[in-house]
Amino acid sequence: MNVEPESSHVFDVLAQAFAQEGIGTCFALLGDANMNWAARLAEHGCRMIYVRHEHCAVAAAMAYARKSGDIGIASVTCGPGLTQLMTALPAAVRARLPLVVFAGEAPLRTGWYNQAIDQAPFVTATGSAYYSLHLPERMPVAVRDAFLQARRERRPVIIGVPFDLQERAWTGPEKLPPLERAPGVAPQRAGAS
């Protein structure tokens, strides 16, 4: 998909960056912080599998990663939606499963938002990595970095982008540069370090 500057938003470019990683399936529970991104990702040909609980989105992505040998992709909304991952993420870290989770974040420009929490401490407490993306021009590269870290370190990486920032018009290049994929990392045997 070519991104048209007059009609494209940051969420369009984020979805395109995910699609360039070659993902084919995403497990999701939608909310205000991830629904526009998820709709665009589906338009890029990604099969969206909607679940009834956030924990199930990550558990399904874990099963996908274990079975396929590729990165599992999940998406949940911000705040309480993200806190529902606190049981699944440590299990993914211990199993050394590469996951990328798009979680959104509370809007930047609001004095009061009932789902606002500082998400990074929750995520890092599980042993997962957290990317808080607040610079639109850096976001496509940060998505690549998140996928690379998940592949190399074989652990979950959660991406948070404030949903009011996702709604902004994209002012960067019309087309993202081609992806140069890093070589895959072979699965490790149980107990290997």
**Pairing state of beta strands 25-28 and 47-50?**
parallel
How many degrees, rounded to 5, is the angle at CA 91 between CA 88 and CA 92? 85
Quote the pLDDT of residue 116: 85
What length does the chain have?
A: 193
Which helix (H) or strand (E) segment holds residue 158: the answer is: strand 156-160
The pTM (predicted TM-score) of the whole model is 0.87
Quote the pLDDT of residue 115: 82
Tell me the mean pLDDT in the region 129-158.
Answer: 96
- Give the ranges where the chain is alpha helix by DSSP (H): 10-20, 35-43, 54-68, 80-83, 88-94, 119-125, 139-153, 163-166
Whether the per-residue pLDDT at 7 is higher than 80: the answer is: no
Q: Which has the higher per-residue pLDDT, 180 or 19?
A: 19
Q: Which pLDDT tens digit goes with each residue over 31-42?
A: 999 999 999 999
What phi and psi, each to the nearest 5 degrees, are found at residue 180? -105, 100
Under CATH, what is the fold of the domain 10-108+117-166? Answer: Rossmann fold (3.40.50)
Quote the pLDDT of residue 109: 77
Residue spans per domain, the chain: 10-108+117-166
Quote the pLDDT of residue 181: 53
Tokens 């993306």 correspond to what residue?
133
Quote the pLDDT of residue 3: 43
- C-alpha–C-alpha distance, residues 10 and 33, integer Å: 13
